[in-house]
Every structure is written in structure tokens, then in C-alpha cells.
Structure 1
């Protein structure tokens, strides 16, 4: 098996050793982009009451936050940011958005085939704009936090497999406070965490997992009018009627609480992990690298 080895810089100063400590890097990395995003988000909400403009402002805030993170990595961690490399950006982002949308369509189609989902009407196309901007922003922020910072740093120390497990459990735990959470919903969100981390492993860049995450949420919310992670459902492009047992439809948590979604997510995750392994992107834990 081909493996990826992470070279660790030789640090001579006590301050730099502190900065390079994994916990420090996780905390400082998250703060470096989350703080400017929250400030711009608050400013956007104060500037206008127009919901669409607020969402556009939040998306701009996420992009500015990425630039702040890049500056932090260069000036404080003294490293480049290959996770933000723009080479292949358009192709990876487009592919991820297509894959995320296809996974939702496969889930909805299977639930519909089993009698749990029906389209009963349509809405004007403009209803997709707010969900689109919303979920692009969510994808950018959550993927930077969980894959770009947490998973990447843990992987460099503990290796790919433990990083996959830790980041997926954290992703699932973050959704335990959501309304209507169920055991199957938690399992699905945790599995989705594995899927998104696997997408990050395939390229070593954020664009594939960001767009997969955004599309997964957007197609549920903006296209099929389904609840996303327990949040209240609203009218998307297709007005839907969902009925049937919770194991099939996901109940009030949305299709992310469906057994159908679980099977599709796990299958996609295994496929991406196989690609990552073929590309030699499995990182060994530090004790095996030392040996």
C-alpha cells in the first residue's frame, strides 16, 4: 500500500513549538477564519433586512474568512496552504456539487419508489436562491472547520483512520442539539462526516468536500422541500409530500434520518476511500512513521 508521509518542520523556538502543537493549531486555525466570518455576518444582518442580501453578505464573509485563514497559516504557522490551492478548483467544485446532488436524488428516488415521497407541485425558480447561498456558506464554514483544520491536523498526528473516526464523531455530535434528532439521524450525520473527510483525502483540497456538503443540503432544502438535519422544511423548487415510516423517510429530521440515505452514504464513502488509497493518500500515525 502506498502511503503519504507528512514531514514535520524542525522548530527551534519555544513559541513556534507551542504554535505547532496540534491542539493549538486546531484552536488558532478555527479562530482565524471563524472570527472574521462572524463579524461580517453580524454586519450583513445590521446593514439590510433583505434576506437574500444577508445571505450574499454571509457568503462574501466566508470567502473573506478563507483569505484570513490563508494569511494566518502563512504568517503564524509558517506554511503554505495546499488545502486551499486553486489548481483544479473549478473541476473539483463542479464535480462535488454534482455528486452531492446525485446522492440526494438517488435517496429521494428510492424513497419515492417505496412510496414515501411524492412531488405535488412546483414553486418559482427564484425560491432556490436563498437556500443556494445559505448552503454554500454552510459548506465553506463547516468544511474548513472540520476537514480543513480539525481532520487535517489530527491526520498529520494520528493518521488517516483515527482522524476519519474523530472528525466523523465530532460532526455527528455537533448535530445532537438539532431538533428531531434520532439514532438513525445521528448515524447518518456521522457517516456523512466520514464521506466528506474521504472527499478531502482524495484531493487534499477543500473544494470537493465543500461543494458536496453544499449540494447535499441544497438539494434537500432548495429542490425537494425536505427538512435538513431536523430544521423546519420550507418550500423548494418541488413541493413534496413525505409520508411513511421514519426508517424510510427520516421523519421530522428529514431524509438524513432515513435508512436509505445511510446505505447510499456508506457506499459513497467506501468508494472515495478506495480512490484515496489508490492515490496513496493514506497517512500513517506518527508512531509508525517514527518506526
Structure 2
């Protein structure tokens, strides 16, 4: 069980006021978001305005995410004054690769399960497809969302309320972020919330961003870039395959995509449970502050 001895916590009551303010959880979340998001948003806006070609625009957005990470490293080392373990590079590439493949396989399993239950209408090779565009987009989205929600929010909140409540908070926040998506349903919200727990559990297991960011990217890319399925309610037509699902919405997810399917929900919940058990066995669970 991880304890307060190896967690960056707020200062004691005798620490200078300025230091206590900087170490307050909400302050740390806001500052980290500013250092990370401002460079990304500036470079994203510049790449969108300067490049008409989508490929260059997507590359610019990914560059913005990388620069945002570097800016975040500057914040952590200069203001929080700690090692940036959540962005540790040793073994990052194989960890990312494994996560991307696992996220992709989970989508394939979900589609195969829906098909086995009679929910697949047609599947054929798409006449045209530019896979690099959705690949770049979903790598960027996975990095941005996981950095914000797991690398910053979950990590800081966990130090105060412990792993179990932080996992719950991660799921609730992730679900709430998708409430305004097109074609949202109660089942879809449950799916997204479960995915929030799953990604947070992946971060908890490794203590780093790479696994959860890759799971997220592989998950979304396979829906979009392989099967041409709606991603969280957003219709896409970029994939290698044109896939048509048919049947009741509880099975196929309806217009929201497979993330609104009961089959997908069962899969994500089971995967979350496995990830949490692995984190427990590795001694990664953090007690809430009032129990330390």
C-alpha cells in the first residue's frame, strides 16, 4: 500500500503561506492545466490557421501536445520541485505499444461479440481511406485527455481522497464531460464513466501516462480508423472498413456507437476490475489522507 511518505502532499500548517497555497490540491491542478494546455492550444490554433492540409494540421496538434508535456515538466521541476515520474521515459515505447494494441483488441472483441449476437449487418473494405489522419488525431486526443484527467486530476486527487474514491471521481468526471455529445444515452454515460475508471486504473497500475494514453488512443483509433464506427457519438468515415451494425440500441449502441452498447459496458467493467486487481497486487493503492 502506497503511503504519504512517497506522495507529494501539501505542506504542514507551519509552512509559509505561499508554499501552502502552491501545494494546495486545487492550486496544483489549475497550475498544471495552465502549463500544459496553454502551449497546446496556442500551437493547435496556429497549425489549424497556417496549414490547409489536414495532415500537417494533425501533426501540428500532436506537436502541441508534446510541447505541452515539456511545459508541464518545467512546472513540476521548478514549482512542485519533484521528479516527473508520470512522464518517465524508460520503457515508455513498449508500454505505449502494448497499451495501443490492447485498446485496439478490446474494440475488436466488442465488435466481434456484437456480431456474434446478431448485431452486424455488413462489413467491407472501404473504397478510400487515409488512416494516418485518424491515427494522428487519436494519439493526440489520447495524450491530451489522459494527461488532463489522469496525469493531473486523478494523480492529485488521489493524494487527498485515496485511490478508490479517486477512481470513482475519474469515472464521474469523464462521464460528465461527454454529457453534451451527440446521441448520448444513459447506457452510453455508464460506458464512458466505466472507461474513465479503466483508464485511471491503468495509470494507477503503472504510475505513468503511457499505458492509459495508449489504451485511449488504440480504443478510439480502432473504432474510427479501422471499423468506421461512431466514436462517442461523433460520426466518422475514415476507416479501412465500412461497418454497419443493426439491431436494438442496447446491443449496437445505436447512433452513439459501440460505446453505447451493453456488450461494451460489460467488457470495460471486466477490464477495469482486472486492472484494479493488478494495481492492488503491485501495492499501488493509496490510502486517503485521513487514514495515513
Q: TM-score range by the shorter chain?
A: over 0.9
Q: CA deviation at 1:37?
A: 0.3
Aligned to 2:105: 102
Question: Which whole-Å CA distance do the structure 1 matches of 2:282 and 2:290 have between them?
Answer: 22
Question: Which whole-Å CA distance do the structure 1 matches of 2:263 and 2:207 have between them?
Answer: 29
Q: After the TM superposition, which residues 70-109 of structure 1 pair with which residues of structure 2 at under 5 Å, given as runs?
A: 70-109=73-112
- 3-state secondary structure, aligned to 2:124: strand
Offset from partner CA, 1:216-244 (integer Å, 9 cap, x none): 10000000010000001314101111111
Q: CA deviation at 1:126?
A: 5.0
Deviates more, 1:195-204 or 1:124-133: 124-133
RMSD: 1.3
- 3-state secondary structure, aligned to 2:144: helix
Structure 2 residue ranges without an equivalent (≥5): none
Q: What TM-score do you get using the length of structure 2 for normalisation?
A: 0.95
Cα contact 1:119–1:238 (8 A) shared by 2: no
2:201 to 176, 198, 201: 198
Whether 2:2 is the aligned partner of 1:4: answer yes
Question: Which whole-Å CA distance do the structure 2 matches of 1:52 and 1:116 have between them?
Answer: 34
Q: CA deviation at 1:10?
A: 4.5
Aligned to 1:33: 36
2:182 to 176, 179, 199: 179
Q: CA deviation at 1:26?
A: 0.9
Q: CA deviation at 1:119?
A: 4.3
Q: CA deviation at 1:123?
A: 2.8
Question: Which whole-Å CA distance do the structure 1 matches of 2:212 and 2:246 have between them?
Answer: 31
Aligned to 1:282: 285
Question: Which whole-Å CA distance do the structure 2 matches of 1:124 and 1:76 have between them?
Answer: 52
Q: CA deviation at 1:120?
A: 3.2
Offset from partner CA, 1:175-196 (integer Å, 9 cap, x none): 0010000000000000000000
Whether 2:243 is the aligned partner of 1:240: answer yes
- 3-state secondary structure, aligned to 1:120: strand
The 3 A distance-change label for structure 1 pair 233 and 10 is closer
Q: CA deviation at 1:46?
A: 1.2
Aligned to 2:141: 138
1:53 to 39, 51, 56: 56
Cα contact 2:205–2:282 (8 A) shared by 1: yes
- 3-state secondary structure, aligned to 2:130: helix
Whether 2:167 is the aligned partner of 1:164: answer yes
Whether 2:210 is the aligned partner of 1:212: answer no
Structure 1 residue ranges without an equivalent (≥5): none
Q: What TM-score do you get using the length of structure 1 for normalisation?
A: 0.96
Question: Which whole-Å CA distance do the structure 2 matches of 1:97 and 1:125 have between them?
Answer: 24
Whether 2:233 is the aligned partner of 1:230: answer yes
Question: Which whole-Å CA distance do the structure 1 matches of 2:142 and 2:22 have between them?
Answer: 27
Instruction: Give the number of aligned pairs.
Output: 287
